[in-house]
Amino acid sequence: MAHYFDDVAHTFNEYLLVPGYSGASCSPDKVDLCTPLVRYTQGSEPALKLPIPLTSAVMQSVSDATMAISLAREGGLSFIYSSQPIEAEAEMIAQVKDYKAGFVVSDSNLSPHQTLEDVIRLKEESGHSTMPVTADGSQHGTLLGIVTSRDYRPSRTPLATRVAEFMTPREKLIVAPAETSLREANDIIWDHKLNALPILDDEDKLVYLVFRKDYDSHKQNPLENLDEHKRYRVGAGINTHDYLERVPALVEAGADLLCIDSSEGFTEWQQRVLTWIRSEYGDEVKVGAGNIVDRDGFRFLAEAGADFVKVGIGGGSICITREQKGIGRGQATSVIEVAQARNEYLAETGIYIPLCSDGGIVYDHHMTLALAMGADFLMLGRYFARFDESPTNKVTVNGNYMKEYWGEGSARALNWARYAQGKSRKLSFEEGVDSYVPYAGALKDNIGVTLTKIRSTMCNCGATAIPEFQEKAKLTLISSTSIVEGGAHDVMLKDQVNMLPPR
């Protein structure tokens, strides 16, 4: 006879936090959202931490190099999607790692033989006005000079004029060696009133550019997620099919953390991947696994060697696994039970394994609830898909700006490595949809508001750190009537009044 769970599976929307005592010293500006990313022994420090508990999902429509750089700048982490060729994913990882905080790998480069027409075209395509001139026109070629908007006037300079004739030549440039620190580079920029400083290696080849305008940017982002070399951290998705080739390539490219991307993680396949990684790399390579929704799934992956465990099946906004296959569980109930299993495992072994809540987040306050229930960090798809930095197109639908957003289980994603049914390497049916989400603008503007809400709510519960929040949080289930009561009700909103037809 089938096993029946005694309790109903609940979603985040069915819970509220009950405020606790908040002292005068408990204010949002004092809340520390730092959280562990990987397993560690109780009493020691984890090898990897997150300054903020937000990661972007392993999805084509969410996490590419641009998203990874932007999110790491704010303190989060992106997992580059694995439903692409190994070389392409490794290149995205390398792009992020090359984007050393404050040190920019130039993506607008010229050769001396190109013309002003090429300069204008490149400026229109990239939006950049500072363009290094290298011997071969590559981003790491021998530096011959620089072109900026001060070096030419389209109205006076013929479009056929060669770059070599109007660039600022190398001998007139102030440059710095590759071992220059960011602090030293900024000092040089300010001392010499520069807009950009080329960083060169011993062979006079261009390595990075440091820009004056980025100085204020870094001062405004104190939570940047950086490695020991001041490079942005980035995660990478892997699968259970080509991991023998994909993992070494991603590790070589510099991935800080791997994540097995699968709709269901309680499998021998994931155990094989974890066992192989441990045999080849020991504990040096960090890898998370999932997804699971109960204590049995957690225990399986914990004992298999997962560095973090991802919780959630069927709760994503573009996921239709539950209606297609009848598999899944309410996200709140899943997180609560798995967190209990995690704490039991800690008591038994002295090893803490972080939990990542993946799916079921509709509103910002759902993030806070997930943290209160025991999640250490969150993985978000729809939330990040709405921003300028996501890799999808911005389109107009019925007069409104939208961003494209599709699931990895959709036909559009062609992610056979995650969702293939059988040995045919094709989808017999879809477990995700192709959709639109409302365009929300820049990541920085939105994530700042979200984090302010989380910090404020934690203060309402008397906590200034996530572990303290989980210890002090008081949660209550609410009725459907309470959900209605929680929003605006029994009033006519002004924007609705403006839509009424004239009498």
Type of residue found at 63:
S
Quote the tokens at residue 483.
């959900």
The answer to whether 434 and 328 are in contact (CB under 8 A) is no
d(CA 308, CA 470): 18
Kind of pairing between the strands at 309-311 and 355-358: parallel
> Which residues, at least 6 apart from 501, have a Cβ–Cβ distance to it below 8 Å?
none
Angle at 301 between CA 59 and CA 240, to 5 degrees: 45
Q: Which residues fall within 8 angstroms of residue 10, CB to CB, at 6 or more apart? A: 330, 332, 333, 477
Determine which one of 231, 329, 342, 418 is catalytic: 418
**SS3 letters for 115-165?**
EHHHHHHHHHHHCCCCEEEECCCCCCCEEEEEECHHHCCCCCCCCCCEHHH
Amino acid at 460: N
Backbone angles phi, psi at 227, to 5 degrees: -90, -175
The strand pairing partners of 358, in sequence order, are 379
DSSP strand pairing (77-80 vs 235-238): parallel
Tell the burial category of 224 from Cβ atoms under 10 Å away from its Cβ (0-12, 13-18, 19+): middle
The span from the CA of 394 to the CA of 404, in Å, is 7
Q: Which of 19, 46, 23 is nearest to 35 (CA)?
A: 46
Catalytic residue among 26, 259, 319, 356: 319
- Token pair for 331: 């996200």
Other C-beta atoms closer than 10 Å to the C-beta of 105 total 17
User: DSSP per residue over 323-357, as a string?
Assistant: HHH-----HHHHHHHHHHHHHHHHHHHSEE--EEE
Q: Is 386 a catalytic residue?
A: no
CB of 128 closer than 8 Å to CB of 108:
yes
Question: Three-state SS for 230?
Answer: coil
Given the DSSP bridges, would you call strands 309-311 and 434-438 parallel, antiparallel or unpaired?
unpaired
Residue 235, classed as helix, strand or coil, is strand
Amino acid at 3: H
Closest CA relative to residue 266, chosen from 237, 300, 311, 223: 300
Active site residue 170: no
Q: Enumerate the active-site residues.
A: 319, 418
